[in-house]
Structures are given as structure tokens and as C-alpha cells.
Structure 1
């Protein structure tokens, strides 16, 4: 329905419900559970220029109201995605967005250059939470200067909608948002996972092979919601909100805080039909409150 349509830069979504990278595979893995064509967008698994094996096991751990992961961006590389996966998913009636990761600015640029040629990929999402190997392993996303540099470089190579996914592991996330907006980002999505840790008390060892990992799930929602609200009041570009969304009410809260669209991540593992329930819940909310368009709610606290 038109009243659910939202825009992310020049990208039109039939509704604001998207799926988060790394939690939904390439979409087809969920085709037995939901109608993928009803989604506003699918952000596919993180894609790098070259194939990556990911981290050693164990690399996932359940935590109270959430989970830790240290998968390490395991994927078969951009060329494999283009040749083998893209043909399987390009005909879904939704926006297929590729999450792009890299270890150097050149990695990001070369990956974006490959993807810009794909007709059915209208946008990419830059994961700037990756370690910059040329800067001693510091994440691109924790420095306004580094975030600006990678955004500027990709912007010059990528002509379609450019979304930049922000790390929450910073002192002031609004600084990073301003930096990427200034260099041409069409939208920001936030938040990525928080840095966390789990310990096996009996073995006296870390649970994850990497010791630390990314924390996601309902436990991070209040912090994510606060960061979305802050960024919405800082930048003029659209905000895509995520972080612990597990029902329609969470989604409405993120929209009220300033999200033009939302991404559902970890809760897909709990309930693979959750996106449809959230979409139905949003429609019901609009009906109950006699709201003509979802856009009336964006940032409307």
C-alpha cells in the first residue's frame, strides 16, 4: 500500500521493513517461511572483494536477551556473488542491497565498482566497522576522518544509493554520521553490533575463539534507539534504524525516534516469520491511529 512507502535517497521502499546483513543470508534461505516480495528490502550477507573463510569456531554464543558473534565476514567474494548468487535472487520483487566490507579503502572501492554494474542491485551498504589494515587495525568506523575517507572514495566509484552502516563503538556517533554525510552518503544505517565478551567460568576461558565479538539482540535496543534519535537530529539524510528489534512496537519506536526504515536482525533466528508479523503490526498501528502515511511518524515523538 502507498501509505507504507518510504524513500532512502532516490531508493523507494514499498514499506520500511528490511532485513539486516548477516542474519538473513541472501534472502532465499528464508523463502520457505515468508513471502520475500513483501519486504521493503533485503540486505544480504557481508560481501568482500576476495573470499574469506571467517574466524575459527566457536564463533557464536547466546547471551541474556541477545547473542555474540565473531563469524568474521565469511563469504565467497564479490565475483562468486555476481556469478552464482545474484542470478538466484535478482528477480525478487524487493530491493536487494549488498553489504560491502573491506580491509583497505581500495577493497571497498573495487567491490563497489563490481556491484554498480548489476541492474537489480539499487544500493550498497558500507560496513565501516571493519579493521583498516593500513592503519594498524583500527576500525574505519571509529574515526570521523577514516569514515569520511572511505565514504568519499566509494562515492566517487558508486553512482547508486550509498548507505553507510555506523558502528556504535564510538564516543560520539553523531560525529561519524556528519562525516559520512559530508562525503556523499545518501543514508546512514545504525547500529552495528556492540563489542562484547563471554567467559566460560568452569573452563576459565573465553567462549569465542576471538575472545571478543559483536553483541546484538533485544539487550542493545535502548542504546540503539538513543543513537538513532541523536543521529536523526544531527543529519539531513535518511536514517535506517536497527538494534534489538523483535516486534512491531519496537519498529514503531525506532520510526518515532527518526528511522525512515528499520532492519530486523538477530530476531530472525528466533522467529523466521518475524518480519511479516512486524509489517502486519505496523499496518494495524496506522489503522488504529488513523494515520494516512508511515512518513507522518518518522521522528514524530
Structure 2
């Protein structure tokens, strides 16, 4: 976001939530494909030959509803998640300005922006981790149903309740550290790339970043999303495997990583990179555009 003027915390919170909902609506079908490809068991014939084969099979077997399998968890959590993301980003920015004794409207350097981006992942993980756990389980469950298995979970709430009954809050939050490992560097890249592209576009057009057209914001947001996933995909693979594995299968994240390397090689850490990259541009473009437009509409809150 443009840092020429420091927004109110409430405005950042609300506009971030709207941006997150836009991102989910656009990107969930491809996210489903990513998770299904990441969690295919090694040593067996792959169920899908690639991103578009997975997308095609899912649509043929399950229709549009199947493409949005597991969407209830992220849609329920996405507004508060992205609200906290952008709130956390602004809090990180306030901390850096205070540390360097800067004025509220003084533009931050790129290093400060990246710090604020990384900082935003810290409070967000408290909401993101259980949402990701439930979403991944619901998405992978559909593969088992196709093989003749019976669904274990009836939906988001049922999944959360059963996880809690089986292992308490620890089970619901399984994969929290993996989520943090993914999201801190990913958020650094996300906000950093977005701001770099916005500033370059504004400079080329002789404008302020806040004066850019929606098309420019879409482009900058898309590039930010691609940068995020370039950094995030290996820890995301580990997270998906760990969160969807039966209890006791892995001793920890290190065990997941070593098993992947031993059984499937280094390429395993980049499973799902195709759908992740395909999803990254439109979903994040929609997120930042939704956020920027809603911030403009909420201008009376300044």
C-alpha cells in the first residue's frame, strides 16, 4: 500500500478484510488444485498429470461446487486474517517510524516496508494456522471420497470440532510453526514487491503511488503475489503434508522435510508450484485492488 499517508488502524483492518475476501473468491479453485497435488502420496501412480488435469478432473467429477471444496474455512477466516495482515503491516510500519523518529506521513524505505511485511505475519498466524489446517483436510478428503472412501468431515465446523475432540487445541493448531515459516518471508516478499512495482509505475508516470489507476494496482498486486509464492512454496509443501498427515506419521517438520527429500527428491518441495503461480497473480491482484478501493471509500475515517 502507499505509505505517503499513514492510514488509521481501523481503516487498514476493514479494507484488509475486503481485500482478503476478493482474493479468496478469485483464487480458491487453484488453491484447491495446489493442495491436492502437494498431498499426493509418493510411490503410487499420481492421480493428476498436472495443474490443468487436476482442475479438469475436479470440475468434471464435482462441478463448480467441487472447485470451491473447503472454501468455507478460508472465507470464514479470510476477512479477519487479511484484516489482521494489513493491520499488522501498519503496526510494523508504526514501529519502524517510531524507532527512526519519523513523521507519520514520511515514506518508509524498502527495508522498512519489508520489515513491516514480515511483522504482519506474526499476529496473523493465530488465525491462519487453524484455517489452513481445516481447509487442507477438507480439500484432501475429496480425493479419498473419489477412491470410494467415506468422508470423515461434513464441513468446516464438523472438522474443527472433531480435531478438537481428538487432540484438543494442539490438534486444531497443528502446523502453526510451519505456517509461520511460510508466511514471514512470504509477507516480506509480498509487500516488498508490491511497493517496489507501485513506486516504479508511479515514477514512470510522474504520479504519486496513491494516484495510480486500478489497472496499475492490479498489476502491482499480481507481481506481489508471484514474489510471495516464489519464496513460500517449499515451506508450504511441508506445511500441507504435515497438516494433512495422520497423527504420528511424522515426528515434526524436520521429519517431513527429510522424508520428502529421501523418498521424492528435491523436486517434491516444489509440488504445486504451477497452480500456486497461476493463482498468485489474479488472486493477489484482486486482493490489493479490493483493499485499495475500499480504503478510498473509507476515506471519511481518516
> Which structure: larger Rg?
2
- Give 1 or 2: higher helix fraction: 2
Greater relative CO (CA pairs within 8 A, separation 6+)? 2
* TM interval, short-chain normalised: under 0.3
- Structure showing the higher strand proportion among its residues: 1
TM-score, normalised by the number of residues in structure 1: 0.26
